Amino acid sequence: MKESIVRAEPSGGSTRRGRLRRWLVRAAAGGGLAIAAAWLAAPLGYRLLDARYPLSLASLELPPSGHVSAAEGGPEFARRVAKDEQWRRPVPLSEMGRWLPLATIAIEDVRFREHGGVDARAVARAAVRNVRSLRVREGASTLTMQLVGMTHRTPRTLRGKAIEAFRALQVEDRLSKDEILERYLNAVPYGANVVGAAMGAEAWFGCSAADLSLGEAALLAGLPQAPSRLQPDRHPERARARREAVLSAMRRAGLITEDEAIAAREVPVPQRLWPGRSGAPPLPATLHAAAWSLGERPSGGTTALRPELQTLADRLVRAHCERLAPGTEIALLAIDVAGARVVAHIGSAAQNDPLDGQVDGARAWRSPGSTLKPFVYAAAMEAGLIDADTLLDDTALDLDGWRPTNFDGAFGSFGGRVTVADALRRSLNLPALRAGQIAGLDRCLGLIEAAGVVLPESARRESGLALVTGGTRVRLVDLVNAYATLARGGLYRPTGLWADGSDGTLEAVRAISETTCEVLNDILSDEHRAPRIHGGGSHVGGVGFMWKTGTSSGHRDAWAVGHNGEFSVGVWVGRFSGAGDPAYVGAEVAEPILAEFMAALKSLK
């Protein structure tokens, strides 16, 4: 009998398990192929998106607050918040010290130097923990992603995170790790309205970021997680606990020893913002220098202002102001002749006054008195019409009904014929007006403006030759630079504020011949006369400078302007209200200040 073979039929459960196994195998294979395809396609997709949505590195920068300091090594004397009302001063990574960068990486992105902008390992870890807890317990943003978020203001949504991740890849394509870290530390908030490592260190510890201790750096590095909630002056215990987390992260990363961590925990938590800055003493009387500087360049910078000259100017202005009638104001401006940089600037003796303190006398429009006379004579000399020995009439003159007098005011008090040199030294009005007539108004105006004096558009129409005796308006800063033109042998350069020369890069322009300048400098030098000092006396010995004084009609403005070859200096004395005072005579109240400043300059060499 033939043996029959009987096969058992598979049960229903076994069949289902087999189908599931086969489906899982196929799914795994398909998923693997999909992942492999995605991995291969990702670079191509990224490049397409990168081309479609390019990244501008400028978009990673935030507006700085304005900070103005004196010449190299001098103190900061002015600051202004940025457009977004934040205090922010970018500095290079090399000026952020050792500890703050290390502490920041340890607590925020320990694999910063390993990933390419997006940390896949951190994303996976955060996803697992968040799913297990059914809420967001951990983020996965890298420092690069955070930098994008802070500068691009991306929304805190899944779409926003996707944008951050894409932009982070672009950033890593274009910048080195140190460049990214530098930008991050300059953009991160440290509580209140303080942003960036430099301002964070100064605001909380009164020092530079480079001088932060480990304990201070650890506290700062912890604040960006929640700047308001961790702000040390409001929540010291929270700030201390966060610092402990930073120190623990640094220990795990092997960046510090336990002994260093113990010492860092002893550093006190700051109790207030702006504990005070160390370093150079504050620069005096810089209100108007600050306003001018920040008005020209809101981001600030290093000015050419020299601390020792600013201090000298402030001391002299205060001392002389005390000797004059109440309400008297004094302005003093000095520039270096070679570069036309402002090295001292006092706009007012009463900078704390709510009214007068707001006016910058160095840039206010005032009547110049006789300070333009050298340039009127220069116009006639340039035309070959006069020289220092030419005789001019110091006699009565009638100009369409205007019968000018000399400074003593007595009509008929004239000296007859005098040389140009004598007339200029004595500041006689009539000979100067005749020199203006000889040169012609147009030639006079052209030379005055070429030398650096800005005149009102109406000067030709309204002033005429009366500008010779002060019948127009000028600014002290322009007068000082015009006298610097004489010091340069007739070369004009625009006045500038910044040490780097970025605001006065024009080539020097010939305004007056060197010969004419030599004649004028000699006529007005202290080799032929002695400058007055307070009390009416004269300095003993030559200081080595030339100068010219001026007094406006009604004794409203007293001037003294001159140069010593290295510096050009001007002094104005008066009242901003325009009220006159018989004491406001240039030779009596402004000249002594100028002479003392020039004498001090000589002693400083």
Contact 283, 307 (CB under 8 A): yes
- Residue 130: CB atoms within 10 Å: 15
Is residue 370 flagged as an active site residue? yes
Q: Read off the DSSP letter of residue 547.
A: E
DSSP lists the bridge partners of residue 570 as 333, 561
Half-sphere exposure of 278 (CA within 13 A, CB side): 8
Tokens of 218: 């650890």
Look at strands 194-195 and 87-88 and give their pairing: parallel
- Residue 530: CB atoms within 10 Å: 15
- For 403, phi then psi, to 5°, come to -115, 85
CB within 8 A of 215, min separation 6: which ones? 243, 263, 264, 265, 266, 267
Contact 355, 370 (CB under 8 A): no
Determine the Cα angle at 80 with ends 281 and 222, to 5°.
85
Chain centre distance of CA 603: 30
Selection from 541, 562, 535, 534 nearest residue 550 by Cα: 562
Tokens of 187: 């953009």
**CA atoms of 538 and 532, how far apart (whole Å):** 5
Q: Rg (Cα) of the chain, in Å, rounded?
A: 37
Selection from 361, 355, 431 nearest residue 390 by Cα: 431
By the 10 Å C-beta count (0-12 exposed, 13-18 middle, 19+ buried), 492 is classed as buried
Half-sphere exposure of 590 (CA within 13 A, CB side): 33
Tokens of 546: 């030339």
Q: At what angle do helices 514-523 and 476-487 cross, to 10 degrees?
A: 110
Residue the block writes with tokens 């030379």: 447
What is the phi-psi region of residue 536: left when phi exceeds 0, alpha when psi lies from -120 to 50, beta otherwise? left
**CA atoms of 479 and 476, how far apart (whole Å):** 5
Q: Note the residue count of the chain.
A: 605
Exposure string for 153-168, b = 16+ CB within 10 A, e = fewer = ebeeeeeebebbbbbb
Contact 401, 442 (CB under 8 A): no
**Through-space distance between the first and last CA atoms of the chain, rounded to whole angstroms:** 134
- Active site residue: 370, 427, 463, 568, which one? 370
Residue the block writes with tokens 């004196």: 70
Chain centre distance of CA 266: 38
Contact 300, 66 (CB under 8 A): yes
- Active site residue: 65, 69, 76, 108, which one? 108
- In 213-302, alpha helices (H): 214-222, 236-252, 258-265, 287-296
- Active centre residues (catalytic): 108, 370
